[in-house]
A and B are shown apart, each in its own frame.
Chain A
Amino acid sequence: MTGEAWQAVSVTLQLAGLTTLLLIAIGLPMAWKLAGMTSGFRPVLEALVGLPLVLPPTVLGFYLLVAFSPNNLPGQVWQDLTGTTLAFSFSGLVLASVIYSLPFVVQPLQRAFEQLDRGLLEAASSLGAGPIDRFFSVVLPQTFRPLLLAACLGFAHTVGEFGVVLMIGGNIPGETQVLSIALYDAVETQDFASAHTMAAGLMLFALVLLIALYSLDRKGHR
């Protein structure tokens, strides 16, 4: 593989890694709130989180392209704060990926929290355990497996991202040129040798990850 292809691998892994960390940080409280919610507002919130599952990536790509523009408020605020633009930047891709992969992290966590033994939580509470203590000593041990599953799904889905990045990335090597884009480029320039290497690599990665996920899932249900 060429230097540029390895650079694309590195950008992809960094993007997926950072996105997953952020998704866990955002997804955990979100899923917890949703799982415990009884108001009629819940389906609306669930639908909002689930939107990226059904929307074509071009919808998100288009809205982000408009939102990221310094001519519009979100892009302007970002530019005032950081002095840079969001489009064509790594930060922009991270933001897009967090939105794009959100349901893949929130939904498994929400299911896990819904099935949580609430009796244990109440017992812990009556024994004087605070919310943070309860989370680490009661919730986490019970939901460790779904958490790992959610993280892997979020990571894998971000690696598999293409349409959104194509629309807002600008194809900058080392910054926004992820593997799926480098592969697209290789095909367009008729460099099928590189395309084959990258495509096979992505395929193998996805396969190994999914096998790992499914075996994890099986063990969880045993």
Chain B
Amino acid sequence: MRRFLAAFIVVFTATAAQADTLRVAVSANFRQVAEILATEFEEQTGHTVTLSSGSTGALYNQISYGAPFDVFLSADSRRPEMLAETGRVSGKPVTYAFGRLVFWQPGSTEVTYKTLSGWNEKLAMANPDTAPYGLAARQVLENLGLWEKKKSLVVQGTSIQQAWQYVATGNAGAGFVALSQLRTDDVQDGYLLLRDELYNPIRQQAVVLSGSKNQKLGQDFLDYILAKKQQIIVQKAGYFPAVDPVVAKVSDTEGSHTP
């Protein structure tokens, strides 16, 4: 038994020495894509990637209180900047994607801005104070001059993931969700892709954390995500790639979707 244990420990520590585990905190909206990217990264490098997802605000708090993550994929640029200011970041924050917001009314064949302005039932969105997609949703309503009118209809999810749950389960008839969430389920219609000028770009930034013991591996992972092949995956998943979104829009056929 003892020999078996010794052998086990040798084997175990030997593999541990070669393959590291990268702990990635990922904002809820990017979870699905991160899973695809992480799996490919694991296959190519032999390392392990574990993903922890939550709202950007919650993850930020955990990190500022010393949560043992190596990489943080935020849904905004504010939180990574705040972490950088307090010296919790190794290197500089990099943009890995731009989020895209849609107004989703499942079951409807044609959704337009008129549908949105005439909507007078429950309206789901993420919490504008904590979630970047929630802030974008409020900006859309403000810029359309609808915020005061629709405020009382709003039901808030803690993250964009919960806003999606509310609409997907039918508890809210419509709501603001991320295009990426609809792409995950291959939703083809029943949504309106909102014009980019209606909200500030949802610049999703990533950082390697200075408390990490795997900073090199973390940087490798970020470089991997930013490579062209992976950025195409990101774009297909419903984001603008990390290059200038204005350039990206031209190549993105979805841009003509908006009336």
Contacts and interface: CB of A to CB of B under 8 A. Distances in A.
Interface in A169-217: 170-172, 184-185, 187-190
Contact of B155 (A69, A172, A185): A172
Nearest to B159: A188
A61 B122 CA distance: 19
B158 A171 contact: yes
A99 B61 CA distance: 32
Contacts of B165: 65
Given A87-B166, A88-B155, A170-B156, A189 B130 contact: yes
B169 A69 contact: yes
Contacts of B122: 85, 88, 170
A189 B57 contact: yes
Contacts of B170: 69-72, 75
A170 B172 CA distance: 10
A124 B15 CA distance: 77
Residue from A68, A72, A75, A87 with most neighbouring chain B CB atoms (10 Å): A87
Nearest to A177: B156
A22 interface: no
A70 to B, nearest CB: 6
B232 interface: no
A166 interface: yes
Interface in B195-253: none
A151 to B, nearest CB: 31
B155 A171 contact: yes
Contacts of A170: 122, 124, 155-157, 166, 172
Contacts of A184: 158
B144 interface: no
A66 interface: yes
Contacts of A188: 55, 57-58, 61, 127, 129-130, 158
A91 to B, nearest CB: 13
Interface in B96-116: none
A69 B124 CA distance: 14
B174 to A, nearest CB: 13
Contact of A190 (B61, B124, B155): B61
B214 to A, nearest CB: 27
Interface in B145-172: 154-158, 162, 165-166, 169-172
A189 B55 CA distance: 11
B57 A88 contact: no
Contacts of B172: 87-88, 170
A220 B171 CA distance: 46
Contacts of A190: 57, 61
B130 A66 contact: no
Contacts of B169: 65-66, 68-69, 71, 87
A87 B171 contact: yes
A37 to B, nearest CB: 37
A171 B127 contact: yes
A168 B170 CA distance: 12
A165 to B, nearest CB: 11
Interface string A71-103: 110010000000001011000000000000000
A59 to B, nearest CB: 15
18 contacts: A65-B165, A68-B169, A69-B170, A71-B169, A71-B170, A75-B170, A88-B155, A170-B124, A170-B156, A170-B157, A170-B172, A172-B154, A188-B57, A188-B127, A188-B129, A188-B130, A189-B57, A189-B130
Q: 7 closest Cβ contacts across the A-B interface?
A: A170-B155, A87-B171, A71-B170, A69-B170, A171-B156, A188-B57, A188-B130
Interface of A: 65-66, 68-72, 75, 85, 87-88, 166-168, 170-172, 184-185, 187-190
Given A172-B155, A185-B129, 8 more contacts: A65-B171, A68-B169, A72-B170, A87-B166, A88-B171, A170-B156, A171-B127, A171-B158
